[in-house]
Amino acid sequence: MLAIGFDPSTDGAAYAVLEVGRESGARVFRLCGEWSMAEIEDRLVYYAGNQNDARARGLTSEDVIVVVERPSGIHIHPPKPMPLPMLVKEYSTKLMMARSSGTALMKASYVAGAISMLAKHLGLRSIELAPQQWRTALQASRTTKDTDQDAMVKGAVQMLIQGWPARSNTHTRDAAGVALAGWWQVNAERKRAPGAEVFGG
């Protein structure tokens, strides 16, 4: 089975493709990087074709799940106590940042929705997870500092995925974390399904 995780941006997404053993649960690195929306469409069409061909032959090795991070908000930390003129200037700066970030958030949300809709249209299982959801699954949400969370995600991804590259960026690691959490969710559903004991895993 393939688990493809996406961390959307304003015009595309970072991605990570993992191969997951249905029985063993082994998670093996295949690809990571960044795709434009056009490239995402091409790749999902390719993976959907492989899945459909395999199913026609009675195989499930190429089943695909697409897991997308759903942008959930903008966090502007309140400034430290300071004189009123400095406070006004600080808030004005943060307001401008929030407006810019808000536009980016809307665009990233649109990209996330477009990826999910495309995957479903192609017959692929699609899951959307908020950052808090997948980071909790990786036990990487115990701190409020972004830098600490990034370090925890990096450690979890390197430990849980065989062959993960020594050098990677925050966005591809987030995509890998999203893919892992989505796989765990699907696997948990499979185990709860009637007759699940036949499949193991």
* Backbone dihedral region for residue 49 (phi beyond 0: left; psi -120 to 50: alpha; all else: beta): alpha
C-alpha gyration radius of the chain? 19
Euclidean distance between CA atoms 93 and 87, whole angstroms: 10
CA dihedral 8, 12, 17, 22 (to 10 degrees): 60
User: Pick the residue with more confidence: 193 or 177?
Assistant: 177
More confident call, 93 vs 11: 11
pLDDT tens-place string over residues 162-182: 999 999 999 999 999 999 999
Question: pLDDT digit string (tens) for 1-49?
Answer: 899 999 998 889 999 999 998 777 789 999 999 999 999 999 999 999 9
Confirm whether 200 is domain-assigned: no
Q: List, as own/partner pairs, every contact residues 54-60 make where C-beta atoms lie below 8 angstroms and the sequence separation is at least 24, other chains included.
A: 60/1, 60/22
Helix axes of 170-192 and 146-160: crossing angle, nearest 10 degrees: 60
- Strands (DSSP E) contained in 108-154 are 125-129
The 3-class secondary structure across 152-176, one letter per residue, is HHHHHHHHHCECCCCCCCHHHHHHH
pTM of the model: 0.79
Please count the structural domains in the chain: 1
> Tens of pLDDT along 142-153?
655 556 788 889
pLDDT tens digits, 101-142:
567 777 888 899 999 999 998 999 999 999 989 998 887 656
**Vertex 34: Cα angle to 70 and 122 (nearest 5):** 60
> Is it the case that residue 97 has pLDDT exceeding 80?
no
What is the CATH number for 161? 3.30.420.10
In this prediction, residue 61 carries a pLDDT of 61
CA distances from 100 to 87, 107, 143 (A): 20, 11, 26
pLDDT of residue 191: 72
Q: Which structural domain, as residue segments, surrounds residue 177? A: 2-193
Whether 106 is covered by a domain: the verdict is: yes
Q: What is the pLDDT of residue 142?
A: 60
123 sits in the region (left: phi over 0; alpha: psi -120 to 50; else beta) called: left
Residue type at position 83: P
Residue 201 lies in a domain: no
- Per residue in 58-85, pLDDT (tens digit) is 776 678 999 999 987 544 444 455 555 6
Q: Which two tokens stand for residue 61?
A: 């090795």
- Examine residue 198 and state whether it is found in any structural domain, yes or no: no
Tokens for 11? 């015009």
Q: In the prediction, which pLDDT does 78 show?
A: 46
> Does residue 92 lie in a domain region?
yes
Which pLDDT score, from 0 to 100, does residue 56 have? 82
In a domain, 199, yes or no: no
Looking at residue 58, what DSSP letter applies?
T
pLDDT at 198: 36
